[in-house]
Structure 1
Amino acid sequence: MELTFIIVRHPAMLYSKKLSFWTILVLMFFKDTCRTHEMDDFNKIQFEAAFQGECGHGSPCEQLCYELHDGMYECDCRQDYILREDGYSCAEINSTFVSSTSPQTKFNYSDVIYQKDAVLDISEVNENNTYSNDIPNLQISEITSQGPSLEQKLTEVSSVDEKRTTASISTTGPCILNCGIGGICVRNAQGRQSCLCPLGKVGTNCHKDLDVRSPRFQGSSWLAFPALSGAYKHVQLVVELRPESYDGIILLTGERDDMVGDFMALLLYQGRVQFRFDCGSGMGIVQSEETVLLNQWNHITLFRHRWDAWLQLNGKHHAQGRSKGLFSRITFREPVFIGGPGNTTNLADKLPVESGFKGCIRHLEINDHVYNFGLEPKGEAIKGSGIEECRADRCSRVPCQHGGKCLTGTDSAVCLCPLGFSGDLCEIRVDLQVPAFNGSSHLRYKGLGEEALTWLDFEITFKPNSPDGLLLYNGHRSDGYGDFMVLYLIEGYVEFAFDLGTGSSVVTSKYRITLGEWHKVRISRTGRLAILFVDNQPTMETTSPGAFTQLSLPQNLFLGGVVNFGTVSPHVKIRSSFVGCVQSLRIGGRQIPILAEALGGANVNNCPHPCVAKPCGEDGVCIPEMDYFTCRCKPGYRDQACSKGPPSFSGIDSFLYFNDAHTLDSLMADPITLNIRFKSTSTDGLLLWLNNGLGGGFISVGLEKGDLVLRFSNRNEEVVVVHNNTYVHDNLWHRVKAIRDGGTGLLIVDNGPAVTHQAVAVWRRPRPPSPDEEGLFVGGMPHAILLRTIYRTGIKGCVADIVINTDYHLRLVGDRDNNVRECDS
C-alpha cells in the first residue's frame, strides 16, 4: 500500500484580512499499488477545518470558540445561527445569506468550513479563478454540503428495502410463501418458511393491517426514520425497551450505508448496553456496568456532545467515554434504523453484533423529539420490516397469582395458571378430578421414547366442545422436525397422523363426531400400518410411505394442547389446542393417571362431571365412565361410596389421636360445643380428652359408674358436670352435647333436658404434658397417660360422629390410632 498526503490551503483564508495563519487540512488516502488510479479517484474530498492557535489569543471567532487537540481550535455559532463561509462569522439561519466572497465567485461555500462531508469536484484549471495561485492546474468548480442547517439527503426508500441485511436469515432452497406487496419470504436455519411483513402489515401472508404503537422486533426486524437533522455535535437520547435477548442492535445511523465515515450505534452486547460513535477520526465506546433485565422494561439515557458521551441504564451508574482524533462532529445522511441494521453493511468491522434487537420498544426520544412508530403519514417511520405490536404492557394489568404466567392475545392478556389453580388471576385453588381444557391449556408427560418403536396402542375418552383442536402430540425434535405422532380434531373429524422419517401419513374418521358428547377413540399402529377406531364408526387405516418402520419419540408427550406450536411438526394441519374434557387415557394397555402422572400443565380446570363432587369419599377413587362413575375403594370399605363402619374401641390402649393444627384451633374456642354420637357397653371409661398444653388445661367426657360426666379446668378449679338421668351404657346409640362456657358446663343427652348441676373441686395442677400428650384423644388414651387421670380405661364401644362448634366435622381417622376396629353396626 502507498500512502499519499494532499495538503490544501483553505480558500477562505486567501481573502480574509483578519487571519494571519493558514488552515491546514491533511487528507490521507490509501492507494493500492496493484491498480492504476486516475485523478477522478480523488474527485471528492471530505474534510473538517480547524485553525492553528488557541481560543482567547486573538482568535477571530465571532460567537463561540472550541479548543481542539494538538494546538488547534475551531469556531462555532450559537443556536439559530450558522457559521459563514469565512470560518469565523455567524449568520442567522433564516435570514438572507450574503457571501463575503467576490461577486464574480459563482460557488456556494455555505457550511463548508466545518463540514468535513463537503464535496469538492476538482476539474481542469480555470485561469480566471482566484484560487488557482495556490493549487496549480486545479479548479474548484462546485462545493456542496449537507450540513445540519440544510435538508439532508435521505436514502431512497426502495434502496432501504432492497439492500436490507439478511445475514441472520438462511435462504437455502426456494421460498414460496405469498407474503403480499412488500413482504419478504425467508427461511430460518431449520428451513422453515415465514414472511417478514412490511411495516403496518402482519399475519401469515402479511394480510392483516397493524397500527404500530409499541413495536416488537424479532431479531430480523427493523424500521427506519428520516436522517437526523441538527444533531451533528449534540445528541440526547432516551429509550425504553423490553429485551428478550442479551444481544442486538437497538439504533444505528451514520454517514454512509457501508459504515465508512461517521456513525453512531446503540446496541446490546452480552447483556450490557453499549454506545459506539465515530466522528471520522477514531471510534469511541461507552458501555454500561450493569446488564439489562430480560423480559422487563429498561430505561436507557444517552448523552453525546462532540467527542464526549455518557449513558445510564435504569438510573444506575453513569458510564462515560470519548471518541478519538481531531474531528468532533458527526454527519448523518442515512436513515435512523431502529431494532436492526436496515440496509447498513460492513457491520463486522465496527460492531461486535450484527443481529437485530429482539424485544419491545415503547418510547424513543432524540433531542426532545418523541417518535411515532407508525408508518407515515400517520406515523413517522418511512419503512420497516417484520414489526409486530408489543403486548407486554397488557400483562402489567394482570397480576397472575400462584406462579401463573401472563399470556397476551390479540386484544387482551390472560393468566396461564399452573396445575391446581384457576380463575382470571389463578386465585382459585382447584381439586382436579376430570380435566377440562379451554384452548390455552395443556398437560405434559414423559415422552413415549423407545416404547413406541414398532408398536403403539392407545385409547382416549374425551368430550369436545370445539370441532378443531390438538388432543395428543409426541415428537422427536423440539423444532417439530423428524418423527412424530398426533391425534387431533379438524372440522369435527378425528385424524391421526404420524411420520416414521420418510414422510407423514394421515388417517381420518369416516364421519364427524358430535360436540358436547363423550367419545372413545383408539389407535393401533404396527410398523407402517395405523388403524383408527372411533366409537362405533367403521375402522379406517393408512400406511406410511417409505421403508422405515420405527417411531422414536423422545420429546414430552402433550395432552390437550402444547406450550408452543413451533415445536409441532409443520405436517400437522391443526394449529390450535383442544377445547373440552378428557376423562381417560390408556397407553399400551396401562391406564394413565391423567393428573397424578402429569409433569406439568397450565389452565386446566374441572370438567362438569359427578366425580368432581367426590362421591366416593376421601378414601375412595372416582372412576369416570362417560357421564357416570364407579368407585374404587380401599380394603375395609363396605359400600359403593367407599364408606365403612365407625371406629370401635376395646378399652385398653385403644384410641384415636388428633394433633393437627385445624383440629387444635377449633378446640381452643371459648365457649366450645362438642356433639358426640356413641354407644358403649361399659359403665366406666374415657370417651374424649383434650389436653391443650396451656398449663395443663383439659376437657374430658367419660363414663363414671354409669353416669356421663363432663370435666374441664377453669383457672385453679376443676368443673364437674354429672348427667345421671339416662343410661348410656346400654349398647345403644346416644347423642351427647357437651358445652363449656367460661366456668360453666352443660350436658344434654338425646335431646333431653339440660343438666347444669355442677360440683367444683380444687384442681391439682399436674406436670406439664409432653408434646405427645397435647391434642385430642377419642375412645381412650395410652395407658401410661391415662393413669394420671381419674380414668383407668377407655370406653368399650363405638364413636360414630364428633362435631365441634356446629361446623367442624371431625374425620374419625386419626393421625395416630391404636387397636381400633370397625364397629359392627
Structure 2
Amino acid sequence: MQIKPYIFRPHTLIFFHNSSTRKQAFYLELNNQLIQLRVYNKSKAGHFYLSRLLQHSLKLQNANADFFDIAFRLITPDQFRLSVNQHEVHSHIEDIPPESKTDHSMGSFSNEHEIYIGGHLTLTLGNPFPIVSAAENSLIGCVGDVNINGHLCDPRQSSFVGDATGGFGVVDCARNVCTQHACEGSSFCKPVSSTEYACQCPIGTRPPWCKQDRIPVIPEFLGNSYLSVRGFRATSWTETLLEMTFLPKKTTGLIIYSGFSFDKRGDFICVALVNGKIIVSLDLGHGPSFKKSAQNLTLNSWHTLRVKRRGRSFDIYLSGQHTSSGPEIFTQGSFVQLTIMDELYVGGIPNPDRISAYLPEYQELVSYKSVRGFSGCVQSLIINGLRVDLVEDFIEFVNIVNCEMHECAKRFPPCGFNGKCIALSHTWKCICKAGLGGPKCEKNLLRAFNSRIAFDAYSFLALEQPKSILPKLTPTLKISANISKSKHMGSSDWVATGSANRLVLRKLSVEFLKY
C-alpha cells in the first residue's frame, strides 16, 4: 500500500484485519515516524495475545511530501516480512513466548472479517481501540493503491462496483490538483493522482501538452483517448448491427462501450480487446453474455468487425468469418430490446463509474481510477446501417491524434489535391473531382467526354441551378436520362421521377449494356 501522512502522530492505525479462519489479527501502525507490524494469535480461551512485533528501522521523513510504499507478507506462520520503500526487514524485534504472553480481549471483533484502512469505527466515535496499547489515532493523510494478495482494492461501495463495505469522512486526495495547474487553450485538466495531472487535449492538438496539430483524418487512440457520438442514445432496438474497421497496436483496451450504470444494472453493449482476443458483450437487462474470438488479432494490421444481434441472439464476425465455431450465444433473461440512454464511446471512457460491474474481464479493463483504453486506429464505424463520421459527428474528442498507419491519413495522401482519399481497410480509393480520373486522379477526362459519362459506386455529379433551368415558381420538375449499365451491375436498379413536391422511386429493369 501507499501512504502519505500529513502529520506524524503516535499509534496511528494504518491497517487492521481480524481473520476468524486463521485465528489471527494483523495490525499495522505508524508510531510517529516508524512503521510497526503486530500479529495477534487467538488463545484457546478465545482471547488474542501479541505473538509477533516487527518494527522497521527506516524513519519516514518529510510529512505531506511523497508517498511511502509499505508492504508486509506472511510467508509461513512463523515468518513475516515488512518493507518500507522496498527496504525489507526479516527478523523479529520482539517474539513473546506463549507462556508469558498477556491476553488482550478482542471479543467485539470475534465475528469481524472486514479490513480497516486508515482508521476504525471506535476511533471515529471517540472510543478506545479494543486492543490494549494499540491504535490511538486515525490517519491524517492520503492512501494510494492498496493491493491485497494481488487484488487492487476498489474504495467504491461494494453494493455498486467497489470493495468498500463502510467508511466515514473519506474524500478524494486529488480533488485540489487541478486548481494548482492550468492547461493551455481549450484543453482541460484531469487529476491522475493526488500530485499529478494530465491535460485532456481537444481535436487538432497533440498530447501531452496539447500543442497545435493537424485535424485527424483517421483517428488514432493512445490508451488515454476517447471520443463519443450519439450512437444508440435514446433508442430501444430489438436488432443491432455494428460494423467497424480498426487497427490495434496493443493487446488490451476498451474499443466500444455504450450504456449507463452507476451499479450492476443497466443495458450495455461493449467491444473490447483483452490479451489479443476480441470480446463482444451484451446485457439486455438480465445480465451479460459475451463471445470471444478464438484467435488472437494481429497487431498493426487492419481488421473488420461485424456484430449482428436479433433479439436475444447475437454473433460476431472478423474479416467476414465467424470468430468461433461454438454454439449460438443468447443474452440472459427474456428481454429482447437493447435500451440505451447514453452516448456511444469509442476508444475509452472518461469515467469508470459509467461502466457496468458485470462487464466480462472487468479487472483487465477497469479500475476505480481509470479505464484501460484502446491503443490503435479506428477507420470506420457503422451503426445500424448508418456510417458515423468520427471526425465530424463527435460530441467529445479527447487525446486523439492522426493515424499515420494508412495512406489516406498521411500528410501527402495518394490523391493529392485532385480528389478525396477513401480508406477501404488496408487499401484506398480516390474520389476525383469532376473532369479528373485515374487511380490517383492524375488523368484529365474532360477531353475524353463524349455524349455519355460513367459512374461507379462512389461517383456523383452536381449541377448548378440557374433560373433558366429551374425557375423558382415552376410547378413541375421533369427529368429524362438515358441510362445504361456496366457488366458489373445487377439486372435491376432504382430511378427517381416526379415533380417539385413529389418524388417516386420505382424499380428499373434493363438489359446489360456496355459502352
The higher-RCO structure (CA 8 Å, 6+ apart) is: 2
Instruction: Work out which of the two has the higher radius of gyration on C-alpha atoms and give 1 or 2.
Output: 1
- After TM superposition, the score normalised by the length of structure 2 is 0.50
